[in-house]
Structure 1
């Protein structure tokens, strides 16, 4: 991490002018910058050259420079630049104005299901290319899936990517602990299957709750590791009520604690995702209410409780063309227990999502 105030907007580093900081972490900082020679905007990752082997710190640049795929961030340039008696490693790559997919989250801390699936399908194509070149990404997470100019998903960050000449499992240089597959914890190896595991966790987080997995990890790391080994990181109650069974099956297979039970390749994941047909989606608005949407209507529902402790479920729909609001009587129910209410709510929401 760079010391405060070393980098500021307008600072000139070699041929780059810093514009604004767009990311930070233990790795250093990422800035939106201008390449004054090429007269274009780029993303510039800046790290302090520590006592670590310089080759290790340039690893990401060497990997990213070899990649040429529309769903992978391309790295164009890397060098060591001196500034205020520090040697800074500067890595120039494509600037993606849309930023990470997490910027698309609704107030409920998830991304609309149709948008999330499309981003994951795109990023998976990039992952297929990485695997074809015998690289394991090892850091697939929502923050590393960028949103391109046309809404496409672009996989980024090769800082802990590993190369395997024969595509066999290898020891990683480092790990993002909340997304560690069980075999990383037990054997310290990564492979195509660990990338698939991380892809499944990322898909779950994007469509259900971006913070749930990291919160579980932070609350009790020992229990988290135990749950990982048992395949209990994600429970059935963790899913949003509108997630269709087909998507649950894909996620559960991708994150299976036994690598042999997971998908065999990223292509297999993408093929199953491409079979999903959606009619609509749901988000949670700023007031904490679920709001549904399809081509013709917006949807909502109200829940009330009577004096006997039973519930009424009252859905409504609003025409996008006329603005006319009407009760969705087909799905309205009264006298429901809490268990029945949960089922009625899920069935209604799924009826909007499923084609």
Structure 2
């Protein structure tokens, strides 16, 4: 049987994605044969052994699931490997959460989609090992779709996978102490992803600066000691039930972490507090939410006191909610009372 040489042609349009942990070139292209837009992931052959050229494409193809990206085809030329995938024009969760903070309802919805995908690949003996907001896309129906299996590995009979490489800010504590990765690695990365969706996708970079973590050695120590990320920091609208799920997923000791994705899904599914508050990031009007009848707004005065109003969406009449108007002593008191207010107006 002779080999047949074939050529797949595409025209590059533009680079897409950001530089977070980037180990490949990803761009939007027109497939010249199909006349459709595709996302092409380009990887240099010199970074792989020849038997690894199409390992990622095979993993994706073997993991068909509504919450996992499809692969259209895989090809190569003399220097590069190319993986072609659908173009999701809604972008990634990172793009969405950079433009605005998500509501708790959105965070729970996307997290359940993510956990469904990871639960499926775990059932196939596969670990993802690169879970982060940039690797979660949003499809045309609004579902979260897991992508980028470049660091993924299959587990052995003991549930361990050999993968020393990891995005440094999402590296789990035990990764510094032992050889091999487990499903606890993915669960930790899921917890950290949800933490970022709750508090802003840039919160980790902000904490690197505020905690004066300037070297990889100091980062490693901070992760191993459970100091990074700052587990005491949550924005006021993040309900305690959701904080509890995240903190359990981020346990330093993997034995105290969720031992499977289904348990984590079950705990997320019952969260029903503060679902629709929008954190605006505006100092004077940090929170707002609406229903069919009213819009609720939480204001912070120049004296750092809290005032709450509801506006009738039909008559446009604004009324002050006296029970939620609070005088605050200091910034800590303000933060605590904001939590009480958004919970009290749930």
Please state which band the TM-score falls in when normalised by the shorter chain: 0.7 to 0.9
Change over 3 Å in CA distance of 1:42–1:131 after alignment to 2: same
1:29-87 Cα offsets, whole Å, 9 max, x none, are 212222333343221111232263133343221211212101001222111125xxxx2
Distance in 2, Cα, partners of 1:51 & 1:178: 23
Change over 3 Å in CA distance of 1:130–1:334 after alignment to 2: same
Residue 123 of structure 2 is matched in structure 1 by: 132
Residue 38 of structure 1 is matched in structure 2 by: 34
305, 330, 349: which one aligns with 2:342: 349
Residue 29 of structure 1 is matched in structure 2 by: 25
Residue 155 of structure 1 is matched in structure 2 by: 146
Moved more, 112-121 or 53-62: 53-62
Tell me if structure 2 keeps the 8 A contact 1:135–1:167: no
84, 93, 96: which one aligns with 2:88: 96
Distance in 1, Cα, partners of 2:36 & 2:87: 9
SS of residue paired to 1:223? helix
Residue 304 of structure 1 is matched in structure 2 by: 302
Say whether 1:324 aligns with 2:320: no
TM-score of the two chains, using structure 1 as the length reference: 0.85
Change over 3 Å in CA distance of 1:320–1:18 after alignment to 2: farther
Residue 77 of structure 2 is matched in structure 1 by: 81
Moved more, 264-273 or 286-295: 286-295
Stretches of structure 2 that go unaligned for 5 or more consecutive residues are 1-6
Residue 171 of structure 1 is matched in structure 2 by: 162
Change over 3 Å in CA distance of 1:246–1:212 after alignment to 2: same
92, 99, 116: which one aligns with 2:107: 116
Root mean square deviation, CA, Å: 2.3
Distance in 2, Cα, partners of 1:62 & 1:190: 20
Distance in 2, Cα, partners of 1:338 & 1:90: 52
1:215-242 Cα offsets, whole Å, 9 max, x none, are 4457333333222222222335421011
Change over 3 Å in CA distance of 1:288–1:338 after alignment to 2: closer
Residue 204 of structure 1 is matched in structure 2 by: 195
Distance in 2, Cα, partners of 1:51 & 1:190: 22
Question: What is the deviation of 1:286?
Answer: 6.1
Tell me if structure 2 keeps the 8 A contact 1:61–1:75: yes
Residue 56 of structure 1 is matched in structure 2 by: 52
Change over 3 Å in CA distance of 1:328–1:54 after alignment to 2: farther
SS of residue paired to 2:101? coil
Question: What is the deviation of 1:335?
Answer: 6.4
Question: What is the deviation of 1:173?
Answer: 4.7
Say whether 1:15 aligns with 2:3: no
The structure with the largest strand share of the pair is 1
Change over 3 Å in CA distance of 1:343–1:214 after alignment to 2: closer
Tell me if structure 2 keeps the 8 A contact 1:76–1:92: yes
Distance in 2, Cα, partners of 1:338 & 1:134: 48
Tell me if structure 2 keeps the 8 A contact 1:292–1:298: yes
Say whether 1:280 aligns with 2:237: no
1:87-113 Cα offsets, whole Å, 9 max, x none, are 221111122111111222266x63222
Distance in 2, Cα, partners of 1:211 & 1:304: 27
1:190-225 Cα offsets, whole Å, 9 max, x none, are 111110000000000011121122444573333332
Distance in 2, Cα, partners of 1:323 & 1:339: 34
SS of residue paired to 1:243? coil
TM-score of the two chains, using structure 2 as the length reference: 0.87
Stretches of structure 1 that go unaligned for 5 or more consecutive residues are 1-12, 306-310
Tell me if structure 2 keeps the 8 A contact 1:64–1:158: yes
Question: What is the deviation of 1:272?
Answer: 0.9
Residue 63 of structure 2 is matched in structure 1 by: 67
Distance in 2, Cα, partners of 1:54 & 1:338: 58
Tell me if structure 2 keeps the 8 A contact 1:302–1:313: yes
